[in-house]
Each structure stands twice: as C-alpha cells, then as structure tokens.
Amino acid sequence: AAGVIQSPRHLIKEKRETATLKCYPIPRHDTVYWYQQGPGQDPQFLISFYEKMQSDKGSIPDRFSAQQFSDYHSELNMSSLELGDSALYFCASSLQGPGGAFGELFFGEGSRLTVL
C-alpha cells in the first residue's frame, strides 16, 4: 500500500541558509501535518492543511512557512536556518483530520535536517 513519501531523506545546510522539504500524502488523504522531532524529544506539531487550506498551526517559527498544492503535496520552507533547527521533520496524512471518522494518522519516513 502507498505510504506518505517525504523528500529529501537527508539534508545538510549551513546556518542562515534555506531548506525546502516535500511531502506526498497517501492518496485520497485530505489532511497533511508537519511535525518536528529533535533528538530524544517527542514530535512537536508545526502546521496542518486540510483540502489545501491551512487548518491549524502549532509551534512553527516565523522563519518557516508551508503550503499544500493542488495535487495535495505539501512543502515546508525553512529560512535563516539555525543550529537548533536540526531535527527529524515528519509529514503525516490522514482522512478527515485526527479526530475524524477515519482517525488514523500515518507518518512518512521523515527528513533529517542537519544545520552546521
């Protein structure tokens, strides 16, 4: 079965550079989420999209932005990168939101960002 696809899997950047992460949700899933997970930490919710519109916002820095496109894929753009942005970035998708009738939320393999 198709899963959530993320790219790139690994990314190394210098401080103050920019980075873009991509996410392709499971087909027919209408909600996409972005999470950040630092070393030894639990995942922290950044932002979500439902039917291409921003649905909810968490602890996403102002330096980050995201959008969902007409084909439902999503991109997370990160600018002025800082050392503390080094983390695993997970995209997840679900049908009808995490509290909806089909509540299962499936995560992609993640993109590991290292900022030097």
Partner 1 sequence: GQNIDQPTEMTATEGAIVQINCTYQTSGFNGLFWYQQHAGEAPTFLSYNVLDGLEEKGRFSSFLSRSKGYSYLLLKELQMKDSASYLCAASMRYTDKLIFGTGTRLQVFP
Check if the beta carbon of residue 32 is closer than 8 Å to that of residue 22: no
Q: What's the min distance (Å) between Cβ of 16 and partner 1?
A: 26
- Name the residue nearer to partner 1 (CB basis): 84 or 99: 99
d(CA 93, CA 18): 25
**Of 36, 2, 7, 40, residue with least CA distance to 21:** 7
Q: Where does this chain bind partner 1 (CB under 8 A)? A: 31, 33, 41-45, 48, 50, 55-56, 58, 88, 90, 97-99, 103-110, 112
Q: Which residues pair with 49 in a beta bridge?
A: 32, 54
| CB of residue 82 to partner 1, shortest distance in Å | 22
Which of residues 55 and 79 has its CB atom nearest to partner 1 in the complex?
55
